[in-house]
Amino acid sequence: MALDDQKTLNSLGFAKTPAETRVVVAMSGGVDSSVVAAQLKSEGYDVVGVTLQLYDHGAALAKKGACCAGRDIHDARRVAEEMNFPHYVLDYENIFKDAVIDEFADSYLAGATPVPCIRCNERVKFKDLLETAKDLDADCMATGHYIQREMGPAGAELHMAADHTRDQSYFLFSTTSEQLDFLRFPLGHLKSKAETRALAAKYGLPVADKPDSQDICFVPNGNYAAVIEKLRPGAADPGEIVHADGRVLGNHKGVIHYTIGQRRGLGIGGLDEPLYVVKLDVDKRHVVVGPKEMLATRIVPIKEVNWLGDAPFDSQSEWSMGVKVRSTRPPKDAIIRPTGPTTAEVELIVAEEGVSPGQACVFYDPTGTRVFGGGWITRS
| CA distances in angstroms from 136 to 25, 76, 133, 140, 310, listed in the order given | 12, 19, 5, 10, 31
Size of the chain in residues: 380
Gap between the Cα atoms of 169 and 306, Å rounded: 13
Answer whether 280's CB lies under 8 Å from 257's CB: no
CA-to-CA separations, 328 to 164, 171, 334, in angstroms, rounded: 11, 11, 17
Residue partners of 230: CB distance under 8 A and separation at least 6: none
Residues 6+ away with beta carbon under 8 Å from 178: none
| Active site residues per annotation | 120, 217
Cβ contacts of residue 370 below 8 Å, gap of 6+? 157, 158, 159, 364
For residue 160, give every residue at least 6 positions away whose Cβ sits within 8 Å of its Cβ, in sequence order, or none: 147, 148, 167, 169, 364, 369, 371
User: Is 362 buried (19+), middle (13-18) or exposed (0-12) by CB count in 10 A?
Assistant: buried
CB 167 within 8 A of CB 193: no
